[in-house]
Amino acid sequence: MAPLRSWVVSIISIVVAVLAWDLAVRFAGHTLLPSPLDVVRALGELAASGRLVRYAIASLFRVTWGFTLAVVVGIPLGLLLGWFRRGAFTVGPILQFLRPISPLAWIPLAILWFGVGDGSAVFLIFIATVLPLTLTAMQAAQSVHVVHVEAARNFGLSAPAIVRRVLFPSALPQLIGGIRIALGIAWLVVVAAEMIAVNSGLGFLIVDARNAGDRYDLVVAGMVTIGVIGLVLDNALRALERRAAR
């Protein structure tokens, strides 16, 4: 009953927000912000032309590659650094130094190294997410209770078995939480990268619509699409996070 109630509340809040948006446009008396109906028509136009699906797939393709590379590199590296404290003391300060640097600051170097295309966007997503994932994995490994590790050693488990049966299960809920946050960062970065470094995707759609005769209905339609896809991805990882916690 509680999940149903939460869904009802969410739907009501969305309906109220759309109505407030429509009333604000009507009373403003100008067309700088399109109405919800205009955005729905723009979504229909994008869907009919095939651009909506094509650009959404392009953005998801870049996020998948960049984020997968970050997971494959960041999580094992972070677990390793968290397990061996000397490694954390050596590499940790470097990671903490690089982490505050905005991923967008890497755009000139990304274009210089990979040119204008998918490579630049994938690199930016990788840079934006690999550091948070590495630090999350480090903290997850360091939070494993030493009593559990010593008990596993007393039972004669080898180091790989301890990693598989103690370290990874204990760190998994925290890792999934970090993955969820990093995926949100990846989705933000791909939109920004597509506005500058590529000529397709939802970010490019927004810039292209702005430059092609001030089509703000298409701009907001792209924003709505970005929000919907981001919400779906976040809810999927949230469900996985709950399952891992159990």
d(CA 106, CA 116): 13
Query: Would you tell me the crossing angle of helices 216-245 and 202-211 to the nearest 10 degrees?
Result: 160
Q: What is the pLDDT of residue 93?
A: 79
Q: What is the pLDDT of residue 92?
A: 72
Does residue 124 share a domain with residue 53? Answer: yes
28: domain range? 1-33
Domain count, the chain: 2
Q: What is the pLDDT of residue 16?
A: 84
Does residue 55 share a domain with residue 6? Answer: no
* Positions in the chain short of pLDDT 70: 1-6, 29-32, 87-88, 149, 159, 213, 244-246
Nearest residue to 175 (alpha-carbon basis) of 200, 143, 219, 199? 143
Q: pTM for the full model?
A: 0.82
Does residue 216 share a domain with residue 115? Answer: yes
Q: What is the pLDDT of residue 69?
A: 94
Q: What is the pLDDT of residue 67?
A: 92
Q: What is the pLDDT of residue 20?
A: 83
Q: What is the dihedral of CA 35, 41, 45, 46, to 10 degrees?
A: 50
Q: What is the pLDDT of residue 244?
A: 64
